[in-house]
Amino acid sequence: MKKPLIFLLFSVFAALSTGFAQEVELLEGPRFAASLEQAIDGAQSSVRLATYVFRLSPRGETGRLAKALAQAAKRGVEVELYLETTGLKDSLERGNRQVAKWLKRNQVKVYFDTPNQRSHAKAAVIDHKFCFVGSHNLTESALKHNYELTLRVDSPALAQKLEQSFTAHFK
């Protein structure tokens, strides 16, 4: 059974209130990309990242994140990316397929949902411990210009729930 995003957000708050979360940081606007990149660069075992849209701008923030994912995979970290598919020939599909093709060539495992379900989640889990849950898509607009919020939560319990949700939805 698939869990809606509200369930995951509730899990964040439950982790905080019960002491399962050791640290929480609010990442506003452009602070998210730098924090996510740093976490990917420091990953030891795994990176799992779900996003609705990932538009690759080779010289921009999204290019830096794509390179960080590829470098993590090359150093032996298990890297998985979960993306939305529309099944249409629209800009979302083209953009997600473009980044998927590049990342697959660089040892990153990429999974798509099915066209009959929409995956609008924006979340990441690093090393089964560090969680990012929020509103940031991986586009230059979202990472640099939009008012976006993401929580960075240090919680193995929340990480486990997020990873189970990713597996149930995408695999």
For 113-125, what is each residue's pLDDT tens digit? Answer: 988 888 899 999 9
Structural domain range at position 116: 5-13+21-170
Confidence of residue 23 (pLDDT cuts 50, 70, 90): confident
- In this prediction, residue 10 carries a pLDDT of 58
- CA dihedral 79→94→141→169, nearest 10 degrees, is -50
State how many domains the chain has: 1
Query: Is the pLDDT score of 14 beyond 80?
Result: no
Query: What is the CATH classification number for the domain harbouring 82?
Result: 3.30.870.10
Residue by residue, DSSP assigns 21-55 as: -SEEEEEETTHHHHHHHHHHHH-SSEEEEEES-B-
Residue-level pLDDT at 145 = 93
134 SS3 class: strand
- Answer yes or no: are the C-beta atoms of 7 and 15 closer than 8 Å: no
What is the per-residue pLDDT across 30-41, written as a single tens digit (0 to 9) for each? 999 999 999 999
Looking at the predicted structure, is the pLDDT value of residue 1 above 50? no
Higher pLDDT, 2 or 77: 77
Please report, rounded to a whole number, the percentage of residues in the chain having pLDDT higher than 70: 88
pTM of the model: 0.87
